[in-house]
């Protein structure tokens, strides 16, 4: 049985529909990541699950129990907010104890749970008597997580919990959250904007766009087999390169706008003359002496381990990830080709859906 189940869940503010029928099942103990562009309804989805937002239509169940009409406190969930939402007038200890006191837990047990959370989160016990404003951002983040942990809920909700932290702390907390999940095994829904968090944290990834779910699957699967053009462009940084093209008469090649000819991946029958969008990830392009794409270098970003080449021709811009440092200079001509055996992605121009299930290409 699914730990959490959304069935045809809709949300509208007045006449503004925000979510258009979400179907999603989350397994017990699963770590599920929700990503999508700003305003696509991620927070709304989470807030409806938490009981902070009314459900306009459909049902949400937690542990097999429909929670549509239940108050947040009856749902056995804990939530970590982006701005932490720590009670400013209470000590750190009381922040964590608040929910437990309400449940009339004996003092000794409250203390035991907080001590345990302090240990798990590696908080300094001296901090317990401080007020939230006397803590750094990272410490506040830990306290907010502590407040969620001590409750021992059946579901954890995170709404962009790390977005207010600096890059280094974010990496550290990301690992900590992952470790925490492995330790406690509590079903978790985690909303993020961050590509790395999306790819590394969860067991499954939900990509949302405009109030719809575009794709659900393990991060690597979503990355390798994006189901729609949107997902292909959204997941991955830098984003996938797209080119418009048409399937040729033989059904074996795609002719791009600029006249380049690419062999189609096997595994599907392509209708001749169909308009398609061809997607190629930057790391699947390589600079060669002779290849289909001829461009001028716009700039090169040396990232250390590799470098990003930004180049353009009449059809538009392309980004290519090159190994090591690159000595290419702006204005220079460069020729790119798709790497041998690297996947190209084909999307129907009209439906925006993926055209083939297989990957790979035979170099032609």
Ligand X SMILES: Nc1ncnc2c1ncn2[C@@H]1O[C@H](COP(=O)(O)OP(=O)(O)OP(=O)(O)O)[C@@H](O)[C@H]1O
Applying CB under 6 A, which of residues 41, 132, 219, 279 lies at the interface with ligand X? 41
Burial 24-57 (b: 16+ CB within 10 A, else e): bebeeebbbbbbbeeebbbbbbbbbbbbebebee
The reply to whether 69 sits near another protein by the rule CB under 8 A is: no
Count of residues engaged in binding another protein, rule: CB under 8 A: 24
**Encoding tokens for residue 11?**
């949300």
Q: Give least dist CB 17 to ligand X, A.
A: 9
The reply to whether 307 sits near Mg ion by the rule CB under 5 A is: no
Largest CA distance in the chain: 77
In the bound state with Mg ion, the residue whose beta carbon lies nearer, of 43 and 307, is 43
Applying CB under 8 A, which of residues 142, 151, 284, 361 lies at the interface with another protein? 151
130: which DSSP letter?
A: S
Applying CB under 8 A, which of residues 15, 38, 88, 168 lies at the interface with another protein? 88
Q: Which strand (E) or helix (H) includes residue 195? A: helix 195-200
User: What phi, psi does 328 have (nearest 5°)?
Assistant: -65, 145
The reply to whether 187 sits near Mg ion by the rule CB under 5 A is: no
The reply to whether 192 sits near ligand X by the rule CB under 6 A is: no
204: partner contacted, choices another protein, Mg ion, ligand X, none (Cβ within 5-8 A by kind): none
The reply to whether 43 sits near ligand X by the rule CB under 6 A is: yes
Count of alpha carbons within 13 angstroms of residue 295, beta-carbon side: 27
Applying CB under 6 A, which of residues 15, 38, 122, 182 lies at the interface with ligand X? 38
Q: Give least dist CB 194 to ligand X, A.
A: 11
Q: How far is CA 32 from CA 6, 61, 81, 309, in A?
A: 13, 16, 17, 33
* CA 214 – CA 219 distance, rounded (Å): 13
The reply to whether 44 sits near Mg ion by the rule CB under 5 A is: no
The reply to whether 43 sits near Mg ion by the rule CB under 5 A is: yes
The reply to whether 44 sits near ligand X by the rule CB under 6 A is: yes
């Amino acid at each position: 049985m699914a730990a959490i189940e959304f069935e045809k869940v809709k949300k509208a503010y007045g006449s503004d529909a925000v979510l258009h029928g979400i179907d999603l099942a989350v397994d017990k103990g699963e770590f599920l990541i929700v990503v999508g562009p700003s305003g696509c309804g991620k927070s709304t989805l989470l807030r409806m699950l938490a009981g902070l937002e009314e459900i306009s239509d459909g049902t949400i169940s937690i542990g097999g129990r429909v929670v549509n009409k239940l108050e947040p406190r009856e749902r056995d969930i804990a939530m970590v907010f982006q701005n932490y939402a720590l009670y400013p007038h209470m000590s750190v200890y009381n922040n964590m104890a608040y929910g437990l006191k309400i449940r009339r837990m004996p003092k000794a047990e409250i203390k035991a749970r907080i001590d345990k959370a302090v240990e798990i989160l590696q908080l300094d016990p001296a901090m317990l008597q401080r007020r939230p404003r006397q803590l750094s951002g990272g410490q506040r983040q830990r306290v907010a997580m502590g407040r969620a942990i001590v409750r021992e809920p059946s579901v954890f909700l995170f709404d962009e919990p790390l977005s207010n932290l600096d890059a280094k702390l974010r990496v550290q907390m990301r690992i900590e959250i992952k470790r925490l999940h492995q330790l406690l095994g509590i079903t978790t829904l985690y909303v993020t904007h961050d590509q790395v968090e999306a790819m590394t944290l969860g067991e499954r990834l939900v990509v949302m766009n405009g109030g719809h779910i575009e794709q659900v699957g393990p991060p690597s699967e979503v990355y390798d087999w994006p189901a729609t053009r949107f997902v292909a462009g959204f997941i991955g940084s830098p984003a996938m390169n797209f080119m418009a093209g048409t399937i040729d008469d033989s059904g074996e090649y795609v002719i791009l706008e600029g006249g380049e000819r690419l062999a189609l991946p096997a595994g599907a029958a392509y209708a001749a003359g169909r308009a398609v969008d061809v997607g190629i990830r930057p790391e699947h392009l390589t600079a060669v002496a002779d290849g289909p794409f001829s461009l001028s270098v716009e700039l090169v970003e040396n990232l250390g381990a590799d470098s990003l080449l930004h180049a353009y021709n009449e059809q538009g811009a392309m980004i290519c990830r090159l190994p090591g440092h690159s000595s290419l200079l702006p204005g220079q001509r460069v020729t790119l080709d798709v790497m041998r055996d690297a996947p190209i992605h084909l999307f129907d121009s009209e439906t925006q859906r993926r055209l083939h299930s297989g990957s790979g290409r035979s170099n032609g």
